[in-house]
Amino acid sequence: MVRRFDNVLYRIGWTSTRAQARQLIGHKHLMVNGKSLNIPSALLRPGDTIQVKDRKAIKELIRGNIANANISTAPWTSSNPDALEGCFLAVPNSEDTQPAGKIQMVVEFYSRQ
């Protein structure tokens, strides 16, 4: 799901992989709305803000990931790299997400008898 905490963290560009996002969340290096959250599968609501706890090594890791990010920031998220603060703006619609394949082809394939 696109609202999962680990996916949003990855889509903001703070981690290089979703596995790295899960590890940062699991080790309580991040906060959502000022409260510690260590559940990678937690669903974020529009308007939730993500902050990094005051740990120098983690901040350096995230700044390095932002500098080397291969993924463009999703339009339904925002990020302030200077303050290391991100926000989940809205639940994306189907046009904002990019499926792995062609959905219409899958529907046509399974509709055959």
- pLDDT 10s digits, 11-30: 899 999 999 999 999 999 99
- CATH number, domain of 64, equals 3.10.290.10
**β-bridge partners, 4:** 43
- pLDDT 10s digits, 67-101: 887 766 778 888 888 899 999 999 877 666 666 67
- pLDDT 10s digits, 45-71: 999 999 999 889 999 999 999 888 776
- Residue 43, pLDDT > 70, answer yes
- State whether the Cα torsion 13-16-19-21 is positive or negative: negative
DSSP string covering 18-86, please? HHHHHHHHHTT-EEETTEE---TTPBP-TT-EEEE-S-HHHHHHHHHHHHT--SPPPTTEEEETTTTEE
pLDDT on residue 95: 67
pLDDT on residue 32: 96
Confidence of residue 110 (pLDDT cuts 50, 70, 90): very high
How many domains in the chain? 1
